[in-house]
Structure 1
Amino acid sequence: MKIDLTGKTALVTGSTEGIGFAIAAGLAGAGAEIIVNGRKDDKTAKAVAKLKAQFPDASIRGVATDLESAKGCDTLVKAVPHVDVLVNNVGIFGPQDFFETPDSDWQKFMDVNVMSGVRLSRAYLPGMEKKGWGRVLFLSSESGLNIPADMIHYGVTKTAYLSLSRGLAKRMAGTGVTVNAILPGPTLSEGVIAMLADDVKKTGKPVEDVASEFVMAARPTSIIQRAATVEEVANLVVYVASPLSSATTGAALRVDGGVVDSIA
């Protein structure tokens, strides 16, 4: 099985680090032209340079804009009028008690985690339909099914992506465009590494071991009993973004290490 995305343009939002960067790298390795997106010019430029060093023959460029606002999304669409693959990855998270989460925080999470995907999908799907081929992927989370009590606002946004992806898949029926959601579980991204830094320092254990202990404490239903790597998540995304996944649409595809305790 060979995944070939030669001639396809892929936009990965929030791709300067973590899962987004790994997805961009995976798509570049499959031959796609890559659009990297981040909020800041310098960080976006560094991510582009890092990818070009890994894939010197690939076409890679960056567009720095904050997708929290409609204006930021418009800036991206104007810079990149058409894509074949849209990966709605950008997102924010953080524990916060429900009773201490004001409207402003709810609105920010909705704007970044949901409305960015709504706006970009609305902008790019018509072009995909016209070409008769396209892939839209939404990075949801196992937290969209297992709503965390300490991050209810985050879980709600990830559940929203499940509804949005399923509805859009139906809306694009018969067009050659597929729409799917990806549900990662605990993943060893830069954000998680930073969160575990104090425990790593205190215990002297490798971050992978500390992450495994965290997973088993916070997500005891994990079957792999460790955090996934960003590359493991990216591998699924690259497949779903490829022509090989043409019969997969409207799906919620889990790469959660078995955290969600369900046979379906």
Structure 2
Amino acid sequence: MTVPRILVIAGSDSGGGAGIQADIRTVTLLGGHAMTAITAITAQNTMGVQGVHAVPVDMVLQQMESVISDIGVDAVKIGMIGSAETAAAVADRLAVLENVPIVFDPVMVATSGSALADDATIASFERLMAIATLITPNIPELAALGGEEIAIRFGTHVLAKGGHAAGPMLTDRLIGPHGVLKAWSNARIDTQHSHGTGCTLASAIATGLGQGWDLVESIERARKYVREALRLAPGLGQGRGPMGSPFGFHAHA
């Protein structure tokens, strides 16, 4: 089988824990070829986000066009989008792709608590949700987007992540237009070094879909991958540090 071509549309994390850096690492370790359209440059570390510089929308589109026209795309992962204008333009370009699964991680707030999207950008997420195969919000993001009904409203699937809930167990639920399709529960891994979990999970799912796996299989492998990465966190930085890199990860659904 040829290497799956995964286009990641997201922001850069100078600290290397999340964003494009986590996406490239994840896609590569799971056997894919990562291509990127960078939407924003951030100055950030384990303590927070110190600055954000959005990439002009024309340049985001040019990056996308360069790789789509030459290399081709088997799956897309969307993370930090940068601006409302970029969200609309990206949605328009991806809408014409045929049979390409799209995983949208609606990034609003960094693990550190820093805001990564303003109100206008969050409102523009509707365009992206309408073309997504899967949306992967955490609990606060799901509430901001309108709750579980977004699966019905947009005719898509939602992986409602439970990591922000209290208690020793966490549950992720896969919701389709007709209700909950599957739920996964695991004991919480006790670590503060969880920066990049959302980016990593979404990229891992996109890689599975690009490899021809079905949605449930892709989610199950991605969840195992993230849990292994959490266990391997090297403890870098003074705040919420990056996860580890599970080299040689070969979990199957």
Which band: TM-score by shorter chain?
A: 0.3 to 0.5
Q: TM-score, with normalisation over the residues of structure 2?
A: 0.43
